[in-house]
Each structure stands twice: as structure tokens, then as C-alpha cells.
Amino acid sequence: MKEGHMSDLPRKAVTRTAKLAALPLGFAGRATLGLGKRIGGRPAEIVAGELQQRTAEQLFKVLGELKGGAMKFGQALSVFEAALPEEIAGPYRAALTKLQDAAPPMPAGTVHDVLAKGLGEDWRRFFEEFEDKPAAAASIGQVHRAVWHDGREVAVKVQYPGAGQALLSDLSQLGRVARLFGPLIPGMDIKPLISELRERVSEELDYALEARAQHTHAVEFADDPDVVVPDVVHQAEQVLVTEWLDGVPLAEVIADGTRSERDRAGQLLAHFLFAGPARTGLLHADPHPGNFRLLVDDGPAEGWRLGVLDFGTVDRLPEGLPLPIGTALRLALAGDAERVHAMLRQEGFVKPAIQLDPEAVLDYLLPIIEPARAEEFTFGRAWMRTQAARIADPRSPAHQLGRQLNLPPSYLLIHRVTLSTIGVLCQLDATVRLRDELLDWLPGFAAPEASEGAEDPGDAEEAEDPEEAEGA
């Protein structure tokens, strides 16, 4: 690989490491400052709020300096967004958007080097045409439009050289400063989450894994009336060639779609979120608007199909989504606080040392799961803001309770994907028959047959014993 074209990502690792390592020191200084203010007679929660704000600001400043890794890093960290107060999450989203827009394209020479390494020095023989100017940025590379040697239009995803080492180095550093997150999210075990993220990032760097996940979806959804996944054409090293997919970007529907277009797009997204894992054993784990297209075929919105791109991050769920999710959701809607609490404890959402009132847990959950109760539900920014405000207000019982809940690593991607999808549904302001999708595709949500009764995981009240819960 020619030195002039080498990415400068790995060389920046030392600087990034130093900046990340300095985070806890800066935080300790601010904690002392906060204590001084508190002695000055200001209410503790105001000081705590300011402390959170400054901690988050410093964290995002460091993330902003991670350059190549920042974009992927930021997406990986988006799981924390839901747990952060809106005044912190707002700037966080803005910073992420800025980072994603600012990623400079790879020089054409570097792209050619990666293609030569993957496809051979005579790589051009694979293509009738190849556009040097990238058509889109990918999380750890970029996408070029081309024509394959058999005449098919293709998307060629090329990975940034050195992106892998830089990203994994960033995640290792984050693991070392995990305690910085403590004040932001007290009930959560951060270290296992970081190691889970590290595994996911390693997988995302592996285009062979991505090719398998995408091909599995393409085969399963071939000729499907609702979902289209472009198939894999070729994969080698850091190069992934897939069929090109035209369509209306979801962002355009969000910006100026009609009511029927918004509702159809929302229904398709909800359908794919739950039908995908049930049908393929995989969860597409990067549901932001850039990864979706609407195939309109000039017909009415009711006939539109959802095109899905980018299978770099998937959760492997051979049995579909975990049975406890559907079961707990059904029991919560039925008002069975004791059994819901028992299941949350059994699954690790409530850590053994934490004592919670089951009724309070149910009160916390019910407004969030309201969309699963109604025959159809309109997701809107106002509803999202109401939920966020309820959980973000330090004086509210929901805030106090939310801070005591834990996110088990095995639920990390499911949590992130569900929240991200709901976020997109709210941007669409879509009216969706969510309950229909849950009944069709979510294990445990439909009432169990009478013969199953005793086997319903919701009967696991014995998991109240903290010792057993920890082993579960």
C-alpha cells in the first residue's frame, strides 16, 4: 500500500489515548468544585445536573477528537442517549450528526489500493464502470456506485485502511474510563457493556460476516411484499459488493412525506423490527434513516416496500427476540406487577442488591409501552418528549427508578434498536398498528395456550431470590 495514501487513523491513537486517559482527572476536579458549590447552599440536584452536563460535554469533546473512530464510536454509544437527560442528549445528537457529516472521503488512490488488496491488481476487470467519487459514507468506510462485469448496478463498500485498529483502540480506552459514566447512569454496569460493544465492533470490521448476514436476509425476503434486501454480489477482504438499491431515502419521507406515506413507512419499519429476527434469527442493529429506502413503484403508499441496507451490525437471535420481552410486555399490559418484577430481576434488569416496589416498576413501564396496548398508535415528537421529560426530571419517581435499572449486555443491541426505531417512528409522526406486529412476530406476547400455562416464564416468581437471579 502506497505510503501517500495511508490513512492517518492509527497514528492518531497515541493522542486519543492521552485525551481519554485524562477524562477521569478532569471529572474529579469538577466533582470537588460541585462540593464547594453545595456547601454554598445550592440544592444538590442542581449541582448534580450541572456536573452531569459538564461531564457529558467533556466526553463528547473527546469523542469529537476521535476522528475516524468517532462516527462508529458515537453510534455504539447511542445506547446511553436514552438514559441521559434531554439537555445532555440534545447536544450529544447534534455532535454526532456533525461528526458524521464531517467524515472526509478517502482519496481515490487509497480506494484503489483497498480494491487491489481485495480483488487483485487487475481489480478493474470486475467492473464495467467504477465511480471514484463516493456515493455515501459508511460507518467505517464509504460506498461507491459501479457497474459489475455482468451489467448489474452495484454498491461497492470499501473499508478505511487502519479503521479497525483505531476503533478497537478507542474502545479499549473507553473501557478504562468507564467509571466516568457512573455519575451519568448510576444503576448500570458499564464495563460489560463496553466489552459487548468491543465484540460488536470487531464483527462490524469483518465484511465476510456482514456478507453472510445480508445474504441471509436477501434470501429470506426474496419476493416479499413488504421488505427488499439487495443481495451480495462479491466479498473479499475489506471490500463488499452488493446489488444497488434505488428508492426514496427515508429522510425524504420524514422531511415532506404525506400522511399516508408516513404511516406506510412507519408500519414497514415496525414490521421489519419484529419480523426480521423471527424470520432470519438476526436483528438488523443499525436502524437510522440512512439505511432505509422506500420502493414506491409510482403506486399508492399502501403498496410501498421497505428497502434495507447495511448489515454490518447484527444481533444473533436464533430463537427470535427473547421470550421474556414478549411475556413481560403482555404481563405488564395485564397489570401483573409481581410477575413483571420477577422477570426483570431474573433477566438482570434489576440487580440483586437493588430493592424496588413492583407497583412502582409497573407505573414506570406503562406509559412507555402504551403503543403496544392500542389497536393503532401515533408516534410523535411530543409523545417522545413527554416520555423523555418524565424520565429525565430528577424530581420524578420515574427518574429515580430508571436510574436503578440495569441493562444486561445481551439486551444491549435489542434496547438500542428498539429505541432508535421508535425515535424514527416519532420523526415520521406515523400512526402504526404496532400491536398487530407484536402479536404476529414477538414470542410470548400473544396469550399462551392453556396447555402451556405452567411453562409461561412469567410464572418465575421464585426468581425473587437474589442469589438465583444473579445466576440466571
Residues 198 and 210 in one domain: no
pLDDT tens-digit series, residues 438-472:
999 999 999 876 444 444 544 444 434 433 333 33
Domain boundary among the residues 193, 220, 239 is at 239
Query: Is residue 295 pLDDT above 50, yes or no?
Result: yes
- Positive or negative CA dihedral for 140, 145, 147, 153? positive
Residues 302 and 188 in one domain: no
Q: How far apart, in whole angstroms, are the C-alpha atoms of residue 347 and residue 2?
A: 51
Beta-bridge partners for 287: none
The domain containing residue 435 runs over which residues? 246-472
Ranking 21-35, 154-168, 326-340, 448-462 by mean pLDDT, the lowest is: 21-35
Residues 309 and 410 in one domain: yes
Q: For residue 58, what pLDDT band results from cuts at 50, 70 and 90? A: low
Residue 132 CA, distance from chain mean position: 30
Highest mean pLDDT among 27-36, 64-73, 456-465: 64-73
pLDDT tens-digit series, residues 141-163:
899 999 999 999 999 999 988 77
Strand segments, DSSP code E, in 206-279 are: 227-228, 232-236, 239-243, 248-249
pLDDT tens-digit series, residues 307-317:
999 998 899 99
Query: Is residue 423 pLDDT above 80, yes or no?
Result: yes
Residues 459 and 373 in one domain: yes
Residues 184 and 227 in one domain: no
The whole-number pLDDT of residue 336 equals 98
Query: Is residue 410 pLDDT above 80, yes or no?
Result: yes
Q: What order do you get walking across the sheet with 227-228 strand by strand?
A: 227-228, 305-308, 292-295, 248-249
Q: What amino acid occupies position 454?
A: A
The whole-number pLDDT of residue 416 equals 80
**Does 112 reside within a domain?**
yes
Number of domains, the chain: 3
Are 379 and 371 in contact by the 8 Å Cβ rule? The answer is: yes
The whole-number pLDDT of residue 152 equals 98
Ranking 198-212, 225-239, 284-298, 380-394 by mean pLDDT, the lowest is: 380-394
pLDDT > 70 in the chain, percent: 67
**Does 198 reside within a domain?**
yes
**Does 365 reside within a domain?**
yes
Residues 337 and 445 in one domain: yes
Q: Among candidates 57, 65, 138, which has minimal Cα distance to 90?
A: 57
The whole-number pLDDT of residue 26 equals 40
- Mean pLDDT of all residues in 283-305: 90
**Does 461 reside within a domain?**
yes
The whole-number pLDDT of residue 199 equals 79
The whole-number pLDDT of residue 14 equals 45
Is the pLDDT higher at 314 or at 97?
314
Residues 365 and 284 in one domain: yes
Q: What is the mean pLDDT of the chain?
A: 78
Are 438 and 274 in contact by the 8 Å Cβ rule? The answer is: yes
Residues 350 and 394 in one domain: yes
Residues 301 and 221 in one domain: no
The whole-number pLDDT of residue 36 equals 37
**Does 165 reside within a domain?**
no
Residues 30 and 137 in one domain: no
The CATH number for 140's domain is 3.30.200
Q: What HEC string does 303-326 produce?
A: HCEEEECCCCCEEECCCCCCHHHH
**Does 164 reside within a domain?**
no
Strand segments, DSSP code E, in 414-455 are: 431-432
Q: For residue 395, what pLDDT band results from cuts at 50, 70 and 90? A: confident
Domain boundary among the residues 239, 255, 284 is at 239
Residues 190 and 216 in one domain: no
Query: Is residue 197 pLDDT above 90, yes or no?
Result: no
The whole-number pLDDT of residue 468 equals 38
Residues 123 and 198 in one domain: no
Query: Is residue 192 pLDDT above 70, yes or no?
Result: yes
